[in-house]
Chains A and B, each alone.
Chain A
Amino acid sequence: MKTVIVVRTSDPHRQSEALRAALGVTLRGAAIEVVIDEPPHTPLAQRATDTLRAFGHAVGPADDMGEKLARADVVEVWTMTTAPTTSPTSTSPIRGASPPRPRGRILHLVRSEPPVGAVAEGDWVVYLDAMRLAGSGRPPLPAGPIDHDQLVQLSFAADLVVTW
């Protein structure tokens, strides 16, 4: 099983928690890749990073997020604990959609803007704060407002769910 942990916060505590989680997930044999742009801010974060690398897991910046997502079975995106002050509106298109994936469809739950290249043509997008399904990717439900029952349905219809 391949788990990708994306660390999208510069908060030292949150960074430490993300790296602690990444190390924890290795305990049942999963291969881990940590995508992180900043150096470790705390001794715990440094120790977790060093331990992950010593076990052969990749820790470093993303050169191709789309490719990393395509190979993942589970993705955790670690952000700040508070909701972003500006969320993408449900009418704004996701920037920089990449070509369709060769295999696997991702459901992106959007609280904050995904990185460029993360969303491929054919992927589905739900703006989580507004609970609105975008029309891109030809989802199995009509674009527009959805409820949580439909969100569960979409989650299992997709191959992977990533919350930004």
Chain B
Amino acid sequence: MRGEVCPFTFVRTKLALEALPIGATLRVLVDHEPAVRNIPRSATEWGQEVLGVEVVSAGVWAIDLRRRVR
């Protein structure tokens, strides 16, 4: 999702999650700091699981999600 603007970050994340089987994981890379908080928060509200957030490189974060619900 590097270089993406809201809401495309969320749309693409949601689509990617919905394409996965239950229990599968998704790693989302973002370079916009508010997304580091907002994507996990939204994913939780969508019923999905946030496995973790980590810094990948300067200004790039990885958000790991697991699909839990349809």
Contact = CB atoms under 8 A, between A and B. Distances in A.
B11 A27 contact: yes
Nearest to A23: B7
Interface string A133-151: 0000000000000000000
Interface of A: 20, 23-24, 26-27, 44, 47, 51
A139 B7 CA distance: 39
A44 B8 CA distance: 10
Given A24-B10, A27-B42, 17 more contacts: A20-B5, A20-B6, A20-B7, A23-B7, A23-B8, A23-B11, A24-B6, A24-B7, A26-B11, A27-B7, A27-B10, A27-B11, A27-B14, A44-B5, A47-B8, A51-B8, A51-B11
A24 B13 CA distance: 13
Interface string B4-30: 011110110010000000000000000
| B interface secondary structure, majority | helix
19 contacts: A20-B5, A20-B6, A20-B7, A23-B7, A23-B8, A23-B11, A24-B6, A24-B7, A24-B10, A26-B11, A27-B7, A27-B10, A27-B11, A27-B14, A27-B42, A44-B5, A47-B8, A51-B8, A51-B11
Interface range, B side: under 10
Nearest to A27: B10
Contacts of A24: 6-7, 10
A99 B7 CA distance: 38
A51 B11 CA distance: 9
Contacts of A20: 5-7
A27 B5 CA distance: 14
B62 to A, nearest CB: 21
A3 to B, nearest CB: 14
Nearest to B6: A24
Nearest to A44: B5
Nearest to B7: A24
Q: Kindly name the residue among B5, B7, B14, B42 whose own CB sees the greatest number of chain A CB atoms within 10 A.
A: B7
